[in-house]
Amino acid sequence: MTSASDGADSGNGSADASSRGVRRRIVTAFIVAVLVVGTAAFAYRMGTGADEAEAAATPTPTASETSEPAEPTTSELYAALTPSVVVIETESGIGSGVIVTTEGAIMTALHVVDGASEITVTFSDGTSASASVASSDIATDIATLTPDALPETLLPATIGDSGDLETGEDIIAIGTPLGLSWSLSTGVVSGLDRSATGENGTALSGLIQFDAAVNPGSSGGPLVRSDGTVVGIVVALLSSDGDDVFSGIGLAVPITTAVGGSGGEEGPQL
């Protein structure tokens, strides 16, 4: 038979055991909570560090990487344009021209071929062909030629916009001065909207003045701006003594005028 004190002791023991169980659960829960918070904090720090490392590893574009592409050098311009330039020979002289269409139309100065009974064009690869005048405009001293045969590789020049040309811009001229084929000269646009008297006595206006060296044989060659586009056709040089010797002033018909024509037949359809 169990005594009253034994029952009390038994009840107290149960109470103590229950209390210890509660404390253990509280402690366990606290430890788990600490571990969860610690793990989360560690993960956050690790993630932040990874993000910072990734951001540090990502290169930032520099000014040079985001700037406009550099314009071609003079040598690069010459290499690109030479295949589009031709030498023109007639019974009375020599001149220059530039291929302006994929069909092989050649633009030149009218006075280079005016009245010629025989015209021969020589391409940059050395091949030659007879040519005939397809159109002419005495008011601008511009003519276009159609060759009887084309080279295996035909590279027409890129036609630019002479309407936004400015004084001071760099330009190059390619032609056949004094019979020296595919010669290059460099300079700047010296003035715009100039006037002069052409070789046939025609008053020419709206011309581009430039200081790149030109001489007899340069007529009909292209005037090219620094982006590689043709902005004019060389038609004249001015000399103080009246001789055909360059004295620092060359003149070209703007390409927009040369293509559109003025007072004569229309230029080639580009």
Burial of 152 (0-12, 13-18, 19+ CB in 10 A): exposed
Buried residues in 109-128 as b, exposed as e (16+ CB within 10 A): bbbbbbebeebbbbbbeeee
Buried residues in 227-247 as b, exposed as e (16+ CB within 10 A): ebbbbbbbbbbeeeeeeeebe
Residue for token digits 């069909």? 103
Known catalytic residue at 128: no
Known catalytic residue at 84: no
**Given 111, 183, 185, 190, the catalytic residue:** 111
**Given 84, 136, 137, 141, the catalytic residue:** 141
Known catalytic residue at 219: yes
Residues designated as active site: 111, 141, 219
